[in-house]
């Protein structure tokens, strides 16, 4: 009887492991290569700001893809300040792009790290802030490098120049 049990237990263990393996095949985990950025602006959104925002997203995607040596999509999502802070803290967003002169106090907390860039194109000049959580130094470094690269991207500068010239034309009438 002991011999029968000694052979039956390993066979039973193998059958159980096969059964659990088939059950785990039914679970699907999907990851997204998207870098999600909440966009908050001090001024009311318009078509020019949306074009600048889209160009920034494309430039950030190009820079992040280059750094990661693979395709990284950047999703720019318009939101309000309170939601962006909550969602950045919770990890629902990877970063917040704040377009405005002064970064709000809610985004200047110790749990966040920010980079600031000032456009040298247009009147008035535009100030951009990219804010990420500070608990991941590699993400902070990568996002900061991508932000610097995006700000000098020819495509971004072209769109920013066009948007600035449209504002000047509209204001001079």
Q: What DSSP string describes 104-158?
A: -GGG-STTEEEEEEE--SSSS--EEEEEEETT-HHHHHHHHHHHHHHHT-HHHHH
For the chain, give every domain's residue range.
Answer: 34-172
> β-pairing, 73-78 with 34-41?
parallel
Which pLDDT tens digit goes with each residue over 96-152? 999 999 999 999 999 999 999 998 776 678 899 999 999 999 999 999 999 999 999
The string of pLDDT tens digits covering residues 16-32 is 555 554 544 566 555 56
- Cis check for the bond before 158: say yes or no (omega within 30 of 0): no
Q: Domain 34-172, what architecture? A: 3-Layer(aba) Sandwich (3.40)
């Amino acid at each position: 009887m002991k011999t029968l049990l000694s052979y039956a237990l390993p066979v039973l263990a193998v059958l159980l492991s096969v059964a659990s393996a088939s059950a785990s095949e039914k679970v699907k985990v999907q990851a997204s290569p998207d870098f999600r950025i909440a966009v908050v602006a001090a001024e009311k959104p318009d078509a020019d700001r949306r074009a600048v925002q889209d160009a920034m997203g494309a430039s950030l995607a190009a820079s992040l893809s280059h750094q990661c040596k693979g395709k990284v999509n950047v999703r720019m999502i318009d939101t309000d300040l309170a939601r962006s802070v909550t969602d950045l803290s919770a990890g629902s967003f990877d970063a917040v792009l704040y377009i405005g002169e002064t970064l709000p106090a809610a985004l200047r907390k110790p749990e966040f790290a920010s980079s600031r860039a000032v456009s040298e194109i247009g009147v008035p000049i535009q100030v951009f802030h990219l804010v990420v959580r500070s608990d991941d130094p590699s993400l902070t470094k990568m996002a900061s490098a991508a932000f610097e690269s995006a700000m000098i991207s020819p495509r971004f500068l072209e769109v920013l120049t066009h948007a600035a010239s449209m504002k000047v034309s509209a204001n001079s009438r």
